[in-house]
C-alpha cells in the first residue's frame, strides 16, 4: 500500500526500524540500514536493509529461523534462500567459503561496447612504459 507515495520510503523505514527495535536489534550508529542482535550465548544476527530487500547473516541457525518466522508474521514477505545476487554482485556460497564476483557485470560491459571477442591481457598496462609525475605551474 506504500508504493508510489512521496513519503513511502520514509514510512517504510520507520515501520521496519520500529520492528527491529521491538525485536531487540541495535541500529549501527554509522550505517543506519544495519541492525545487530545478540544474545547471552554470544549468538549474533546481522541484518542489512536495502530499500525493501533484507540480507542477514550470523552464527546461529536457530536465530535465523526465529527471525524469518517473525518477519513472515509481521510483513508480507518471501524467503529467497541463500543469496546469489545482490546489487549487481554475484555471490557463490559453498563449503569452501563465500565468494563474490562481478563477472556478469564485466561481461555485460564488454557486450555493450562490442568487445566480447577482443584480445584479453593478464595485465592491462603497456609493458615497459615508464610513468612519471609532471608538475604544471
Please give the pLDDT value at position 76: 84
Please give the pLDDT value at position 46: 96
Sequence-ordered list of residues with C-beta below 8 angstroms from that of 125, at least 6 positions apart, any chain: none
Please give the pLDDT value at position 29: 94
- What 3-state class would DSSP assign to 55? strand
Alpha-carbon distance 86 to 128, whole Å?
39
Question: To which residue does cell 605551474 refer?
Answer: 137
Q: Given CA atoms 58, 22, 13, 77 in this order, what sign does their dihedral have?
A: positive
pTM: 0.70
Average pLDDT per run of 10 along the chain, which is 137 residues long? Answer: 61 90 95 93 92 87 92 86 86 90 90 89 76 73
Q: Please state whether 53 falls in left (phi above 0), alpha (psi between -120 and 50) or beta.
A: beta
Amino acid at each position: 500500500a506504500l508504493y508510489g507515495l512521496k513519503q513511502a520510503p520514509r514510512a517504510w523505514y520507520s515501520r521496519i526500524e520500529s520492528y527491529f527495535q521491538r525485536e531487540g536489534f541495535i541500529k549501527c550508529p554509522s550505517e543506519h540500514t544495519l541492525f545487530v542482535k545478540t544474545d547471552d550465548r554470544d549468538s549474533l544476527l546481522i541484518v542489512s536493509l536495502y530499500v525493501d530487500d533484507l540480507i542477514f547473516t550470523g552464527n546461529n541457525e536457530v536465530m535465523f529461523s526465529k527471525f524469518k518466522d517473525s518477519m513472515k508474521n509481521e510483513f508480507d514477505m518471501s524467503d529467497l534462500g541463500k543469496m546469489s545476487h545482490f546489487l549487481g554482485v554475484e555471490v557463490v556460497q559453498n563449503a569452501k567459503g563465500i565468494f563474490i564476483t562481478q563477472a556478469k557485470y564485466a561481461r555485460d560491459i564488454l557486450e555493450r561496447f562490442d568487445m566480447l571477442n577482443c584480445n584479453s591481457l593478464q595485465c592491462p598496462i603497456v609493458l615497459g612504459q615508464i610513468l612519471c609525475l609532471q608538475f604544471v605551474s
